[in-house]
Amino acid sequence: MAILKSFHFASNCGLFQFLNESDAKRVVNWITNFSQLNSRCSAILQDIERLHLCWKDPTIIWSPVSGNKVALGLAKEALKMV
């Protein structure tokens, strides 16, 4: 769901190229391979797949939680505003 929200955020901000880091390795693999479309997350994955086509070259990569403490802190602050 966080990856889908990041696509919506990028769209609302007019970003056409962006990098999305996630600590959910399984989900990143599903998205990059467009697999598991029959899973219980298939509606979200299909939305991400459609949004993925709107950008020139969106990048979704896996990164461990400890890999980017600054991004983790910013994400937590952003969630407080919602």
CATH number of the domain located at residue range(s) 2-81 in this protein? 3.30.420.10
Can you tell me whether residue 80 is helix, strand or coil? helix
What pTM did the predictor assign?
0.58
* 52-68 residue pLDDT tens: 777 667 778 788 877 77
Query: Which token pair is 12?
Result: 């609302």
Query: What DSSP assignment string belongs to 25-62?
Result: HHHHHHHHHT--TTSTTHHHHHHHHHHHTTSSS-EEEE
Domain ranges of the chain: 2-81
Parts of the chain with a pLDDT under 70? 1, 16, 34-39, 55-56, 82
